[in-house]
Structure 1
Amino acid sequence: MKVLIRVVAASIALFLVAIIGLMAMVLADGDAEATEISDGGGGLRGVPAEFRPWILKASKACKEPELTPALLAAQLYRESKFETSKEKATSPAGAQGPAQFMPGTWAMWGRDADGNGETSPWDIGDAVMAQGRMMCSLLKQAKSSGYAGDVRALALAGYNAGWDAVQDAQGVPHFKETQDYVKIILSTMPKFKGPGLVQISGSGDGPNAVRKAATRVGTPYSYGGGGPQGPSTGFCDGRNGYLNGRCAATSTVGFDCSSLVQYAYWPDLKLPRTAAAQYGATSNHAVSRQDLKVGDLLFWSHGDSGSIYHVAMYAGDGNVLQAPRTGKNVDIAPLTSAMPAADYYGATRP
């Protein structure tokens, strides 16, 4: 809903399932109760934690089954890459916020969904729920139109170019921007599809950090990328960040191993940026491999503490949550095979 949006038309995220099964067995402290995060059955991963509940709520509020969490997430990523600042989420045409609403369109679809007393396209809850309402309405129009093609494509085209343009074309308009918009969103939906239920037992800093990091499963690895605010592009240093001979980090929005850990614990615990520094900041609380608890940090090294090259978070039941390396995504893997066994250096408790 960028350059081609018309104000006049406004009036008219088998592997992850197995992983989650393992996470359900996470060891808990004392008698802490399990915390469940239901995503409405459609599945969702790889989105910022602050967007997740609103995407799930918007999907659930619509009776059209095509409006899945993954579709809403892919659309938000295309619109704004989940940006919320006015500097980064204002289009040249004047579209505003993470869902990129034009003022006239916002006047029709905006509501105070988060209950903070203000209806704003910059509020995540307000924006995502308005996006869901508009997309739900467009899906209904697409189904009743009789136009050929995927009703999701028709609805997305209406969001981008206005339903009048869809009516004029009796399908997805031939505007290049709209054509690209539809294709990109539908093709990127799989990266946001996730499991139907996440259950992690325990409470406190460790389990909470793992829950937060688990919302980023599927996010690409980007050397030097990511931080407390979420994923970002990284850099190449002559040795790291390359894939098939080219620098991949500068064009990949994601996390590296230590930025994922930093993001997971922030702001309750402000860990330093690199794996070696994180070991130095927590090494006074060393933990044996037999006494690992959810959220403990595990380190791998080529020698001593000055040669630490990887950090991961213990996810329970012999598994770790990590950002592995360039070309891979944030995932959960067995501790025994996450990195070379001979390089395992030790664990600490933040």
Structure 2
Amino acid sequence: MPVISIAAILAADTAARATQMADGGGLQGVPIEFRPWILKADAACPEPEMTPALLASQLWHESKFQTSKEAATSSVGAQGPAQFMPDTWTTWGRDEDGNGQNSPWDIGDAVIAQGRMMCSLLKDAKASNYGGDPRALALAGYNAGWGWVDHFHGVPPQSFARGETYEYVQEILRDMARFEGPGLLQVSGTGAGADALRRAAARMGTPYSWGGGDPNGPTTGFCDGINGYLNGTCSASSTEGFDCSSLVQYAYWPSLQLPRVADEQYNATASRPVARGDLKPGDLLFWSHGGPSSIYHVAIYAGDGKVVHAPRTGRTVEVQPITSAMPESDYFGATRP
């Protein structure tokens, strides 16, 4: 995936992002409201094993970046996007976002507390001399409590707690690659188009899932007999992600509540057509097999002759030139929402 610099996305984010890029790190596939806090939490920890991708993967497995009390309260009472138990929160929680509340439901408070706890656990892991990956030991301590890591002199085995901690560690380390990358597409400017592009760009690296995605973020999709399959297997039903039109709907929601599918999005915006030479970031581009009723793909213009889009099963949300995003002969036109 190419690194594209259009301008600056978050001024407070720039220095931290530059550091991560220099280290070969970077962060992608993360909701934009989480991104600066993840980078801040990483920057506050001197342990080299701490990376933005580690924190992002952990948040994904804890809550899938959900922040509502309905979606982010566990059956045992863990709360918020970082899933803190109330007694643990009293140790690690602070009012990091300055809103006057020290809350595990606030993204800033939760992510910085997560980073603070993980940083401490990484120190414990390296001081323990138990061997193995200190990230694995720290994650096990986060999930089960450091007392159990001490008890087993390492990550608890699969026989412990029905394998919950063992699998938690394995899955987070495995999925870190999903959040590592060249970083977020940087966008300048204000207005609905620029804001939508930022929101879409923050999801770079999120898997494609036919029928998946909604205004709240990635979801599993479905297969319809033709679409959603990878190597003969229905991939969409087990993949949380976006398809092309759900990414667009998500990007503009809630300021503009576009319909769900690409041809309806064209119909909803067709009264504001844009010539290819007049495109601005945030404009919608459409491809068709022949006319507005046969539109099959939509993308968001990212500037410099490129688009952000969810291309197809087996790929992720990414940046591509307009000329190669889809067959050039299928390009139908552009609109401005």
TM-score, L = length of structure 2: 0.91
The reply on whether 1:124 has 2:111 as its aligned counterpart is no
Aligned to 1:249: 236
SS in 2 for 1:298: strand
The percentage of counterpart residues that share the same residue type is: 67
Contact 1:35 1:201 survives alignment (8 Å):
no
SS in 2 for 1:142: helix
1:52-131 map, 5 Å: 52-131=35-114
**Residues 269-278 or 196-205, more deviating:** 196-205
**Residues 242-251 or 319-328, more deviating:** 242-251
Looking at structure 1, the residues matched to 152 and 297 of structure 2 have their Cα atoms a distance apart, in angstroms, of 53
What do residues 21-63 of structure 1 show as CA deviations (whole Å, max 9, x unaligned)? xx3247xxxxxx8865433514111111221121111111111
Contact 2:9 2:198 survives alignment (8 Å):
no
Aligned to 2:130: 147
Q: How many residues align?
A: 325
Aligned to 2:179: 192
Aligned to 1:45: 28
Looking at structure 2, the residues matched to 159 and 122 of structure 1 have their Cα atoms a distance apart, in angstroms, of 18
Contact 1:24 1:201 survives alignment (8 Å):
no
Aligned to 2:5: 24
Aligned to 1:10: none
Aligned to 2:285: 298
269 and 25 in structure 1: CA distance in 2 versus 1, 3 angstrom threshold: same
Gaps of 5+ in 2: none
Contact 2:28 2:184 survives alignment (8 Å):
no
Task: Give how far 1:262 is off.
Answer: 1.2
Aligned equivalent of 2:246, options 259, 271, 276? 259
Q: Over the residues paired in the alignment, what is the CA RMSD in angstroms?
A: 1.8
Looking at structure 1, the residues matched to 115 and 102 of structure 2 have their Cα atoms a distance apart, in angstroms, of 15
Looking at structure 1, the residues matched to 177 and 49 of structure 2 have their Cα atoms a distance apart, in angstroms, of 14
Contact 1:35 1:202 survives alignment (8 Å):
no
Higher relative contact order (CA 8 A, sep 6+): 1
The reply on whether 1:289 has 2:270 as its aligned counterpart is no
Contact 1:147 1:170 survives alignment (8 Å):
yes
Task: Give how far 1:114 is off.
Answer: 1.8
Aligned to 1:226: 213
Gaps of 5+ in 1: 1-14, 27-32
Task: Give how far 1:239 is off.
Answer: 2.4
Looking at structure 2, the residues matched to 90 and 293 of structure 1 have their Cα atoms a distance apart, in angstroms, of 41
Looking at structure 1, the residues matched to 76 and 187 of structure 2 have their Cα atoms a distance apart, in angstroms, of 43
TM-score, L = length of structure 1: 0.88
**Residues 296-305 or 33-42, more deviating:** 33-42
Task: Give how far 1:105 is off.
Answer: 0.8
Task: Give how far 1:311 is off.
Answer: 0.3
SS in 2 for 1:97: coil
Letter in 1 for 2:144: A
Letter in 1 for 2:89: W
Looking at structure 2, the residues matched to 192 and 286 of structure 1 have their Cα atoms a distance apart, in angstroms, of 35
